[in-house]
Chains A and B, each alone.
Chain A
Amino acid sequence: MTQTWPDAHGRFGAFGGRFVPETLIPALDELAFAFAQAWRDEKFRAELDDLRRNYAGRATPLYFARRLSAELGGARVYLKREDLCHTGAHKINNVLGQALLARRMGKPRVIAETGAGQHGVATATACALMGLRCEVYMGAEDVRRQHLNVVRMRLLGARVHAVEAGSRTLKDAMNEAIRDWVTNVHDTYYCIGSAAGPHPYPFIVRELQKIIGEEIRAQSLAIEGRLPDAVLACVGGGSNAIGACYAFLEDRGVRLIGVEAAGDGISTGRHGASLAKGKPGVLHGSMSYVLQTSDGQIAEAYSISAGLDYPGVGPELSYLKEMGRLELASATDDDAVAAFSRLAKTEGILAALESAHAVAHALKLAPTLSSDRLVVVNLSGRGDKDVETLATRLLSESA
């Protein structure tokens, strides 16, 4: 397989492209040019590398979950500890690169959309670090269920706009961020958090997140002397999944498994499984799998985890699904909560509810594999932000 995508039009096969108002096209051209230049610039790369190492805390460990593996009685389960990154999730990898780029492009104002709030917190953090103004759009429903992250963003000096439109979640936050960008494009950098949106964002975010998989690859070789048999990641928009999987695309022996949010159940219609249940369409600037009605209206996604509560997915994952390179799985709210609990009690790790979806699938997969098999779960974020949600759920269960 040759990894020559995206092409000059930002296409991953039939997916990707640029479906945005004309006003933004010149800005996207400018961004693509600036990123290509920066990515070739050794000084830019060195500065990013230093920040990754000394500010974000990379490389993150590839941790052998000994007790969990023993309990499951199958494959050896490793956790890629992105939850140990500064700000508590993989989102910082992307944002450090984009904030450096914003500064390099001379844009004093940075906007972002956020679902779970992790990307918002990461953006607020990088903006504070680099002296940039930061405004974050967040669905009002997410503001409620991820209140802790709202407070964190404000403490970091960011302005948080609660978006009341539509389902009041990530989709609506992204609509509003795009509207802001159309209006303020002359001085504003739009820092997209997922490997989604119009070209070049899916490319930029993949390039900035692929370090996760590169580290997994090197660490697996160092620890086990071989590559993993499977890499698991949860899929919302897909930045942690493409980040974890990209380094393995040509390693045909490594199964790449994307775990989507099945919400109340994949057959209930209340879920966030865009790859499994969506159809190709256009949302937020690119062609990709989209949950939609037969009339082409965007459907509302649902998941207990705000980061997976999104009716779209990035174009590269759409392409990898279509090519059969990405296997699909899903986990319900209940599966994710159970996996969260089990990981907490066996390994002393509180995973983000998003990442708990990937853990949930590992709980099913590992026992079916022999003990010489290696399964890596990308633990994309930590669960502190979800404690309120879980507390409410536990209270209602015990009532």
Chain B
Amino acid sequence: MSAGVVVASPLAAAFARAKAKGSRALVCYLVAGDPDLDASLRLHERLICAGADVVELGLPFSDPIADGPVLQAAALRALQGGMTVARALELASRMRGAVPMVAMGYYNPILAFGLDRFAEQAAAAGLVGAIIPDLPHEEAQSLRSALEKNALDWIPLVAPTTSPERLVAVTAGARGFVYYVSVTGVTGARTALPPQLAERLAQVRKISPAPVAVGFGVSTPAQAAALAPLADGVVVGSALVQRFHALGAGAEALDECETFVRELKAALSISPRSIFPDR
């Protein structure tokens, strides 16, 4: 590592850009290869057009213990289509450019791929960070060092059950963003957000050295609007994956997803400036 040179995190920069425009960062999740590579490429393009600030590229796993039925089914479709870590990285390199992109996947496929090899190839493909829902702080050291060697951000997850003391340890050194899991539970759309969310987010933002994005269960523009004053960013996953799949992953699905993301992005504005979109 070159001594003393700290490269700014492209993720933190994306959050800052959104804020400068009077908005919050919209993080959009898609599963690599659901249902195939072309569909993922086209969906990615439309997410960017619609105003996504960050993209999370899901690496499918056979046993996703943190995911609800929608993302379980999406992972299965992608795996049945032959998706692997190597192919997902290849896909990432074809998506690179417009907005920063992070990988989200379970630990075993990455472990099997090789931690250093994963970090090197992810960096080469243009990814800027990784989120691993089954790799808590205590077990993450090996992967974190591999990522850091390649200037990738480790994005820690924080849960409603995380104590204040633990929050300090878990978020220490975070650069890109911190992922706050809104509910105790698995991924999936929910009609209501938990009651103590505002309080918890305030606490996490006070402690975290990086911007805080909230995810798990965010599924409507109204929820996004409610979260905008409370967090630095919002992650939308299952609601998007579900729309795309339910409408057949073709032209209609792409249009619908683009509209949905535009609505979400509009809902995230926190100042009157956003009524004059500069895009």
Task: State which of A9, A24, A26, A172 has its C-beta within 8 Å of the C-beta of B163.
Answer: A26
**21 pairs across A/B with beta carbons < 8 Å?**
A18-B139, A21-B65, A21-B134, A23-B184, A25-B136, A25-B159, A171-B63, A172-B63, A175-B63, A182-B66, A182-B185, A183-B185, A186-B184, A281-B108, A282-B106, A284-B65, A295-B84, A295-B113, A296-B108, A297-B109, A298-B62
Tell me the minimal C-beta distance from A200 to chain B in angstroms: 13
A185 interfacial contact with B, CB 8 Å: yes
Q: Mark B72-91, 1 if CB is under 8 A from A, else 0.
A: 10000001000011100000
Residues of A within 8 A of B162 (CB): 22, 25-26
Interface residue? A178 (CB, 8 A) = yes
Nearest 9 pairs of A and B residues by beta carbon? A296-B112, A296-B109, A23-B159, A183-B185, A297-B62, A22-B159, A295-B84, A26-B161, A178-B65
Decide: B139 and A17 in contact? CB cutoff 8 A: yes
Q: How far is the CA of A27 from the CA of B163 in the complex (A)?
A: 11
Residues of A within 8 Å of B197, CB to CB, are none
Q: When the two chains form their complex, are residues A183 and B136 in contact, meaning their CB atoms are under 8 A apart?
A: no
Given pairs A26-B162, A283-B108, 17 additional interface contacts (CB within 8 A): A17-B138, A19-B135, A20-B134, A21-B133, A21-B157, A22-B157, A23-B184, A25-B138, A25-B162, A166-B63, A175-B63, A179-B65, A281-B111, A282-B106, A290-B108, A294-B112, A296-B85
Partner of A292, one of B112, B136, B161, B163: B112
List chain A residues, Cβ under 8 A from B79. 297
Give the size category of B's interface with A. 35 or more
The reply to whether A296 and B185 form a contact with Cβ atoms under 8 Å apart is: no
- Which residues of chain A come closer than 8 Å to B62, judged between CB atoms? 166, 297-298
In the docked arrangement, what's the CA distance between A186 and B139, Å?
24
Residues of A within 8 A of B (CB): 9, 17-27, 165-166, 171-172, 175, 178-179, 182-186, 279, 281-285, 290, 292, 294-298
B166 touches A26 (CB 8 A): yes
B159 contacts A19, CB within 8 Å? no
Interface residues of B in 213-246 (CB under 8 A from A): none
Once the chains are docked, how many angstroms separate the CA of A171 from the CA of B139? 22
Q: Determine whether the beta carbon of B108 is less than 8 Å from that of A292.
A: yes
Q: Cβ of A282 and Cβ of B65 under 8 Å apart?
A: no
Q: Which of B61, B111, B160 has the most CB of A within 10 A?
A: B111
Given A23-B181, A178-B65, are A282 and B111 also a contact pair (CB < 8 Å)?
yes
| CA–CA, A20 and B134, complex, Å | 4
* Smallest CB gap from A27: residue in B: B161
* Contacts A21-B133, A296-B111; A175 near B184 (Cβ below 8 A): no
A22-B158, A26-B161 in contact; A183/B138 too (CB < 8 A)?
no
Render B98-115 as a binary contact track against A, CB cut-off 8 A, 1 for contact. 000000001111111100
Complex Cα–Cα for A281 and B62 (A)? 13
Q: Are the C-beta atoms of A282 and B163 separated by less than 8 Å?
A: no
Of A20, A165, A186, A298, the residue contacting B108 (CB under 8 A) is: A298
Pair A282/B181 contact, Cβ less than 8 Å: no
In the assembled complex, the Cα of A18 lies from the Cα of B166 at a distance in Å of 16
**What residues on B are CB-neighbors of A285 within 8 Å?**
134
Q: Write the chain B residue with the least CB distance to A296.
A: B112
A171 / chain B contacts, CB cutoff of 8 Å: 63
Docked pose: A175 CA to B181 CA in angstroms: 19
B170 located at the interface, meaning its Cβ lies under 8 Å from any Cβ of chain A in the complex:
yes
Give Cα A19 to B159, complex, Å: 15
Identify which of A27, A165, A184, A279 gathers the most chain B CB atoms within 10 Å of its CB.
Answer: A165
Is B48 an interface position by the 8 A CB rule?
A: no
Which residues from chain B contact A282 at a C-beta distance below 8 Å?
A: 106-108, 111, 134
> What chain B residues lie within 8 Å of A281 (beta carbons)?
108, 111-112
Question: Closest approach, in angstroms, between the C-beta of A390 and any C-beta of chain B?
Answer: 31
B186 at the A/B interface (Cβ < 8 Å)?
Answer: yes
Contact of A22 with B170 in the complex, beta carbons under 8 Å: yes
Q: Known interface pairs A18-B139, A22-B170, A182-B185. Does A283 touch B161 (Cβ–Cβ under 8 Å)? A: no
Shortest distance in angstroms between A325's beta carbon and chain B's nearest beta carbon?
A: 25
Whole-angstrom distance from the CB of A18 to the nearest CB of chain B? 6
Chain B residues whose C-beta falls within 8 Å of the C-beta of A298 in the assembled complex: 62-63, 108
- Tell me how far the C-beta of B122 lies from the nearest C-beta in chain A, rounded to whole angstroms: 15
Across-interface contacts of B136 in A (CB, < 8 A): 18-22, 25
Using a CB-CB cutoff of 8 Å, which residues 132-177 of chain B contact chain A? 133-139, 156-163, 166, 170
| B159-A21 in contact (CB<8A) | yes
Interface pair A19/B139, CB less than 8 Å apart: yes
